Structure 1
Amino acid sequence: MPKPKKVTSLSYQIMARIKSGEVTMKPRWYFIMGSAFLMAGLAGLTLLSTFLINVTIFLLRRHGPMGQRRLELMLADFPWYIPLIAIFSLMAGIYLLRKYDFSYRKNSLSIIFGFIITVMVTAFIVDWFGFNEDWSQRGPMRRFYQQVEPGWGGRLRD
């Protein structure tokens, strides 16, 4: 005759570890602050990647028609760190997005593609409305755009 198994629920095991001091409970504010920082990080990375993809689109469009000489000049002059930072911030945003609780209940591949498409469409819309031309001519972003505009080699214009 088989021995009856001792049934111990997971909650009893966890409570036993808490009572023994092996596991300590975190206060509620700890999780609320963690979620708030996670949300702020995701929003910041989304804005950063949207802006940098927008700047990349602006710079590619600004180079004009693609003759062979023009293409060589663009490849030599293009600030390649901008798309690399945009890709890194997209990947970090996807990582943070997967940390959220709701993303476990959904298909993660569709969330990732939705996030990337949203960032790309937003960057194209910002470029389409012509914010780049305004920002490159005046305002606090003028100096940044002058650093990365083609033909200046990343040097500041005075």
Structure 2
Amino acid sequence: MALEIERKYLEVDFDSLRRRLRQCGAQGGDVHLERNRIYDLPDGSLRAGHHLLRLRSQEWPDHAQNVLTLKLPPVSAPDAAFKVREERETPVTDAAQMHSILEGLGYVVRACYEKIRETWRLEHTSIDMDIVPFARVVELEGPEEEILRLEALLGLDDVPVSTQS
């Protein structure tokens, strides 16, 4: 059981951000493909209750992994500066079989999306650069005070911010 604290940044110049990350000594830069399936019950009660059940498959050139995640309702207000939620995750060895299990339990896929994700790590914060069909988004996940400090250090303090999923 972990508390997820994150903030998303829109309209970021990825090349400039990469340069700043390297200058700051960030580790990473690995790029992978993510496939995400969001599940709900037929009556939509998970979404209505602000829960999120996701099966994510991640593929790198040399390996792959799958993760089942349950995100509980946000503990932060909708207009808060950060999205804060309890997140429960477990590795899954066979995504197709887990999908079959979830369907057998009555869950249905409500959304599917892919993204290209480039992941960096600086101090205790994860910096993800995501390319999705409708946007390019940067996500900082870590302690609130560190996110704010890195936001300024990385030149993200003047770009639009979102706490939406």
The TM-score range, normalised by the shorter chain, is under 0.3
More helix by proportion, 1 or 2?
Answer: 1
Q: Rg: which structure is higher? A: 1
Scaled by the length of structure 2, what TM-score is found? 0.20
Q: Which structure is richer in relative contact order (CA contacts within 8 A, separation 6 or more)?
A: 2
Scaled by the length of structure 1, what TM-score is found? 0.21
